[in-house]
Amino acid sequence: MDLKSYLKKMQELVDESLEKYLPRMDELPSSIHSAMRYSMFAGGKRVRPVLLLAACDAVDGDVRSALPAACAMEMIHTYSLIHDDLPAMDNDDFRRGKPTNHKVFGEATAILAGDALLTEAFILLSNPEFVDGLPPGVLLRVIHEIGLCSGSRGMIGGQVVDMESEGMKDIDLATVLYIHTHKTGALIKASLKCGALIGGADGARLEAVTRYGEAVGLAFQIADDILDIEGTTEQIGKDAGSDQARGKATYPAVMGLADSKRRAAELVDVAVEALAGFGEKADPLREIANYIVKRKS
Amino acid sequence: MDLKSYLKKMQELVDESLEKYLPRMDELPSSIHSAMRYSMFAGGKRVRPVLLLAACDAVDGDVRSALPAACAMEMIHTYSLIHDDLPAMDNDDFRRGKPTNHKVFGEATAILAGDALLTEAFILLSNPEFVDGLPPGVLLRVIHEIGLCSGSRGMIGGQVVDMESEGMKDIDLATVLYIHTHKTGALIKASLKCGALIGGADGARLEAVTRYGEAVGLAFQIADDILDIEGTTEQIGKDAGSDQARGKATYPAVMGLADSKRRAAELVDVAVEALAGFGEKADPLREIANYIVKRKS
């Protein structure tokens, strides 16, 4: 299969859908809708929505029925970036080579645009205009999963521990693991699980896809840590080596670069093995797992 | 009926339920859960949840089945207060006589605690442990209503216009009306609507309770504007006259005090009339409407 064209097709589906789902720029108050759209269309790779759609595909579901959940995931990911970049948090001026939300719209609007994107995710997941046809019981499970992965026991919890351990000496592997599995891993794992749920999977097949998601989520973050060291500023869209400069809790910092690479490769194997019982419809997931550790941006 | 004891009973139900629904203080990361609980138990009057429960009561529903939605509403209200108080927004050091969230936990944790409470509302509304027994279709409608009322076309939209018009001269009534019906009105109206939905109402009865909610929501905010002028700092838990000092868009500022009082009284009449077809189970709602414009804090 041709992974590049598969990714492109899925990314286009996501972008078209976001265009349709998000409040229009001219809807009042237009400042907030401009701010929301600015960050939603700032060049994200759509990793989470593509994984969600590929998971739905892998269990033989209808990819189109998973678009609201895929876009909801991207809204939550984007809100978290807007808030992470705020002066009170990471204080970043650039993201993917573009000025961050608060640099363009001001801090107050950036806080509210993040809040609004988080809210919009749940508006979308319960919007009869877009989710009709999905069983209400499945939708409620998806809403619950997406809530859990992004809340204080998921992504936000990871961000809290990340902040609290910044600049600390002697961070142990358990802390890094907590941060990685919560801050980025939780959303990725939930993307896979929700895609499979919407595709109609349950029981063993749901578990297998979720296990894939868990492994890939961690591999993705370790690869990100490695990229921060080995990538150029141009490739990664932010200052290379910025994690080290900030004393961030990363895998290479506690395990070394070689062991981190080995661990990432192992996790890709775990992910691919989880899909052993699946047919060729799971090929995109298999290819994505390999791609994630080899990517350069 | 004895309104005071009714309110007390409902407030106690809400407090007990929040205690049960919110992550425990000692759950990791404990800093975020402490921050969430600090603001949730900072002496709020539980106006929105009590209205939601009373609406469920009025249509002869089981009040206990409406507790998750009532508490979700209070979580969203509380998150909005935490974010409104931030230095980048209203920059308030005190709320209800206590230090604001960011004064106690720092700005970063306050932003995340707000995010987490907003997320927790939707986790709760889809938590099978707590909402089992409610029809999934009703739950999805409630989730959608709660999302809409708090998003960029609801509460957040009101906050944006409020910010943008602060200190502006010649604010017209239409702008003040937009702010009031969105910033506070939307959540109150949705509380009534959701309480009625959960109580099993549809069609004309649902519309009547929603109409009540619309009128009471606006009356509540006008009463708040009046209280800012006539109340003492001790009564209202913040500096008296602070709206005026900030050049906030308020009803008295554009209509004068006497006309504002008249308008609030008219709205209470509209609210009570909306319930004309209801029996004595709607007495609490009737009494609350009257109480809202007479309260001193």
Secondary structure letter of residue B63 according to DSSP: G
Range A128-161 burial, b when 16+ CB lie within 10 A, else e: eebbeebebebbbbbbbbbbbbbbbbbbbbbbbb
Q: How do strand A98-99 and strand B94-95 relate by DSSP bridges?
A: unpaired
First to last CA, chain A: 22
Residue A256 has pLDDT above 90, yes or no: yes
**B173 class by beta-carbon count within 10 Å (0-12 exposed, 13-18 middle, 19+ buried):** exposed
In 3D space, the residue among A191, A145, A165 whose CA is nearest the CA of residue A253 turns out to be A165
The string of DSSP letters for A262-273 reads: HHHHHHHHHHHH
Average pLDDT rounded to a whole number, residues B75-96: 96
pLDDT for residue A245 is more than 80: no
pLDDT value at position A286?
A: 98
Q: Do the chains contact at B126 and A116, CB–CB below 8 Å?
A: no
Instruction: Flag if A147 and B31 touch (Cβ within 8 Å).
Output: no
Out of A13-22, A141-150, A162-171, B141-150, which region has the weakest mean confidence (pLDDT)?
Answer: A162-171
Which two tokens mark B78?
Answer: 């509380």
- Return the CATH class of domain A3-294: mainly alpha
Q: Which amino acid is at A171?
A: I
State the amino acid at position B67 in one-letter form.
L
Tell me yes or no: is domain B3-278 CATH 1.10.600.10: yes
Q: Give CA–CA dist A275/A58, Å, rounded.
A: 9
Q: In this complex, is the C-beta atom of A103 within 8 Å of any C-beta atom belonging to chain B?
A: no
Q: What percentage of chain B reaches a pLDDT higher than 70?
A: 97
Please report the residues numbered 187 through 246 in chain B whose beta carbons come closer than 8 angstroms to any beta carbon of chain A: none
Confidence at residue B236, expressed as pLDDT on a 0 to 100 scale? 66
CB pairs under 8 A between A and B: 146
Nearest alpha-carbon partner for A114 in B35, B32, B115, B73: B115
Q: Which tens digits make up the pLDDT trace of A81-109?
A: 999 999 999 999 999 899 999 999 999 99
| Interchain contact B7–A (C-beta under 8 A) | no
Q: Which residues of A touch B138 (CB under 8 A)?
A: none
Identify the helix (H) or strand (E) that includes residue A103: helix A101-105
Residue range A16-25: mean pLDDT, rounded: 97
A242, pLDDT greater than 80: no
Predicted confidence band of residue B264 (pLDDT cuts 50, 70, 90)? very high
Count how many residues are written for chain A: 297
Give the model's confidence band at B237: pLDDT under 50 very low, under 70 low, under 90 confident, else very high. Answer: low
Contact A48, A132 (CB under 8 A): no
Say if residue B188's pLDDT is above 80: yes
Cβ-based neighbour number of residue A294 at 10 Å = 10
Q: Which helix (H) or strand (E) holds B99?
A: strand B98-99
Residue-wise pLDDT tens digits, A1-10: 899 999 999 9
b (16+ CB within 10 A) / e for A209-219: bbbbbbbbbbb
> Is the CB of A126 less than 8 angstroms away from the CB of B112?
no
Q: Which helix (H) or strand (E) holds A276?
A: none
Comparing B9-13, B43-47, B241-245, which segment has the lowest mean pLDDT? B241-245
pLDDT band at residue B288 under the 50/70/90 scheme: very high
Residues 128-167 of A with CB under 8 A from B: 128, 136-137, 139-141, 143-144, 147-148, 150-153, 156-157, 159-161, 163-164
Give the mean model confidence (pLDDT) for residues B219-245: 81
With a CB cutoff of 8 Å and minimum separation 6, the contacts of A68 are A17, A21, A124, A125, A127, A130, A131
Confidence of residue A155 (pLDDT cuts 50, 70, 90): very high
Residue A236: which pLDDT band, with cuts at 50, 70 and 90? low
Reference B249, options B190, B189, B182, B161; nearest CA is B161
ipTM of the complex: 0.97
DSSP letter, residue B89? T
The tens digit of pLDDT for each residue in A108-125 reads 999 999 999 999 999 999
Q: Is the dihedral of CA B37, B42, B47, B50 positive or negative?
A: positive
Q: So where are chain A's domains?
A: 3-294
pLDDT reported for residue B243:
78
Q: Please give the pLDDT value at position A238.
A: 66
The shortest C-alpha distance from B260 to chain A (Å) reads 26
Burial per residue of B56-84, b for 16 or more beta-carbon CB atoms within 10 angstroms, e otherwise: bbbbebebebbbbbbbbbbbbbbbbbbbb
- Identity of the residue numbered A257: L
- pLDDT over 80 at A24, yes or no: yes
In A98-235 the beta strands, taken as DSSP E runs, fall at 98-99
Query: What sign does the CA torsion over A22, B168, B186, A114 have?
Result: positive
Using an 8 Å Cβ cutoff, are B56 and B209 in contact?
no
| Residue A239 predicted with pLDDT over 70 | no
- Tell me what the pLDDT averaged over chain A comes to: 94
Nearest Cα neighbor of A226 from A178, A259, A261, A196 is A261
